[in-house]
Structure 1
C-alpha cells in the first residue's frame, strides 16, 4: 500500500513539474504582445482611428479567449515583415502569402480564408451559340476526322459485302445496292 502511494505521489509530482516548465516561445500573463498590422481590406480596415475587418475581429476573439494583452502597431507591409524577422513585433495579423523563403524565417498559422479567381464574360445569345456550333462543325480538323471515319466505314462495308455476297445472296445484292447493304 505504501508503494502505491509513493508511485501516485511520484506521478503527480512529475506532472506538476512538467506543467511548470517554461518555454522561450510562451508569453507570461504580464507581457504585452506587439501585434503589427497594415491596412488590407477586407481583412484589416482602418477608418480614422477605428480598426475593423475580418482579421481584427478574429484577433480580438483569440486574444480574449486566451486572456492575452496586446498592443496594435500600425506599419507598412515591408517594415512589418522586417519587424517579424528581427523580433520588433511578436505577431502580424495581416494576410500573408506563404513562400518558401518566408517559411524559413517565420512561422505561419493554417489558412482560414481561401479565394478563387473568376472571369466574367458577357452572356451570348442563342444565335451566337448556333453560329459557334456551325463554325465548329465546319472546322477543317473536324471535317478531316469525319472524312477519315466515313472512309473507314466504307472500306469495312465494302469488305463485308465482298466476302459475304456469294454466301448470303439474300442479304447482299449485286452491284451498288450490295455495297449499300454491306454498309
Structure 2
C-alpha cells in the first residue's frame, strides 16, 4: 500500500503489544520508525526493530521513560537526527494495572498510572511536536475507556478521558500549523 512512503513515525511503548503492532503496521505502509521504550524492555525493543526491518524499512530504537521529559527529549532528538525528519507521533506508552475499586487503590498505584498514561503522553508530544514536518500528525492512543469508562479501571479510565481532551486541545493548537491531532481508540 505504501500510504506512509518516505515518512518517519515515532512510537512510544514500542517494545511489545500495541506499540509493536503500530510500528509493524506503519512500516508495512512505508514509514521508517523511531521506536522508544524503557530500558527494562530493551530486548523486546530490539525484536520490534527486527520486525520493522523485515518490511524493508529503517528502525531506530531508543531508551526513554515517558515520565522523564529529559529522557524523552534526548531520545526523540536522537531518532530525528538519525532519520532526518518526523511526520507522525504515536503516543502509545501505557500500563493497564492496579484494577479494583477506585477508593481502595493506593496513592502510589493511582499516581503511577497517571504519570505514565497521561503525563507520559504530554511529555511525548512536548518532546516531538517541534520536529513535525508540514502536514504531520499527532495520535494519542486512548481506548473505549476514554468514552464510556470501565468499572474496575479508575486511573486508566480517568487518564483516557483526559487524553481525549488533550488531543482535542492539541488539534485546535496544531491546526493553524497544518498539523493534525487525534486519538486512536482500540477496543
- What TM-score, normalized by structure 1, do the two folds share? 0.29
- What TM-score, normalized by structure 2, do the two folds share? 0.29
Return the index of the structure with the highest Cα Rg: 1
Higher RCO (CA-CA < 8 Å; seq separation 6+):
2
